[in-house]
Structure 1
């Protein structure tokens, strides 16, 4: 009887140990889940009535993409129309190349992912931890008024998830609203492509609106750095960058927010 009693005690102890170990493993697996960020790219490829092409700016996609990916972040790409989004030809010029754009050109996996972006209407905010918008002039025409994009941004923000954009992409805040119906950027520190920078590339009269002016009109507390210099601001869940040089700084701020 004594041996049987000892045997039963041993079995119970073993089962309890295995249960605790399983619970710890489950907790560990949960903690190890990678953060997920949704990148939203433009589907618009026409620069107003000029006959010139536009789209997203390659560097503003590639630099944040690799910065976050190299830190273990899972990235999903989406666009209003799905499939291959257009890139601005000027961002593919020799003088616009950076280590990240060169890496992207040589990355067959990333190229395939880019060619098969999800249709924006098919994604849900619940599936991601943050949302990021690369710039380029394209968003001025489509994402600034895209109802699906507007709803996504509001869903992310209201769920306490970071919303980030760089260069011309803060155009996406043109019609986004806070819960009280006021502009989402009202009273918040923001930045974006400056009026001076737009004038420097002779597109002030081509674009449908100026990012800086729009943010100010919506009540945003706009600030900027020097033309073409890295500059980004963070205000709560909003992270915005001024120009292409600011894309890595935005990504750094986003990663810090995700890993707090």
Structure 2
């Protein structure tokens, strides 16, 4: 059987200021989807509370490397996957070989404290599956504890959207917290690229994280490689 990837996306459509829109950073999903699709993996998209997935307007300005996102927008079948997503509470983690948290600033709000996302992450990780996140997707890892009570991030190497990048995209006054700082406070060994917005991925065993939107494809490729290494994908 082909590996089954569980994509997690946000339901949150705005920052604390309702006039400041956010949501899923579309290319972080679409680049990964294309990688997994090319390998014949089964894929499912869920969200914290289910239903509609808003798209961050900033993610819809397409540089050439984000053609996968443009194709999704023009494809009704693909867009329908974001119109009515299953909710995390209804997911059986045993059905999946990997979880992939996509970002967008909406993830800062509804990922960290969702107990069902924490459950799914813990169960996949403890079953030797792959836990992965790109950009703000790592907000979904902040408060996950393993069965022994330890934080998933404690003592592990990770990356994710940096505070410098928040400042450079002029949202440092809008975000509810500094996720880079929060990850370090939970014991993570946070790493980042030498240059902001450059592709950068960190693999610590079966925990794989990417720094920013440009890292989504590379992160998904590492997920596929690790799945093969641990015997949960065709080599």
TM more than 0.5: yes
**CA displacement at 1:137 relative to structure 2:** 0.3
Unpaired segments of 5 or more residues in structure 2? 230-235
* Structure 2 residue aligned with 1:205: 173
Alignment of structure 1 residues 95-174 onto 2, 5 Å: 95=63, 98-174=66-142
Whether the 8 Å CA contact 1:59–1:97 is kept in 2: the answer is no
Aligned residue-pair number = 228
CA separation in 1, counterparts of 2:128 and 2:77?
A: 31
CA separation in 2, counterparts of 1:185 and 1:244?
A: 21
* Structure 2 residue aligned with 1:222: 190
Q: 1:240 aligns with which of 191, 209, 212?
A: 209
TM-score, with length taken from structure 1: 0.84
Unpaired segments of 5 or more residues in structure 1? 1-32
**Per-residue CA shift, 1:200-228, capped at 9, x if unaligned?**
12222321211211111111011100200
Whether the 8 Å CA contact 2:62–2:70 is kept in 1: the answer is no
CA separation in 2, counterparts of 1:96 and 1:117?
A: 28
* Structure 2 residue aligned with 1:231: 200
* Structure 1 residue aligned with 2:226: 257
Question: Which one has a bigger Cα radius of gyration?
Answer: 1
Whether the 8 Å CA contact 1:136–1:169 is kept in 2: the answer is yes
Q: 2:153 aligns with which of 180, 185, 190?
A: 185
Q: Secondary structure at the match of 1:202?
A: coil
CA separation in 2, counterparts of 1:146 and 1:258?
A: 26
Tell me the C-alpha RMSD between the 2 structures. 1.4
| Residues 123-132 or 46-55, more deviating | 46-55
CA separation in 2, counterparts of 1:172 and 1:151?
A: 11
CA separation in 1, counterparts of 2:80 and 2:106?
A: 21
**CA displacement at 1:95 relative to structure 2:** 4.5
Aligned CA distance change for structure 1 residues 64 and 94 (closer, same or farther; 3 Å): closer
TM-score, with length taken from structure 2: 0.92
Alignment of structure 1 residues 11-26 onto 2, 5 Å: none
CA separation in 1, counterparts of 2:148 and 2:86?
A: 31
Aligned CA distance change for structure 1 residues 155 and 182 (closer, same or farther; 3 Å): same
CA separation in 2, counterparts of 1:96 and 1:153?
A: 33
**CA displacement at 1:168 relative to structure 2:** 0.7
More contact order relative to length (CA 8 Å, sep ≥ 6): 2
Aligned CA distance change for structure 1 residues 47 and 161 (closer, same or farther; 3 Å): same
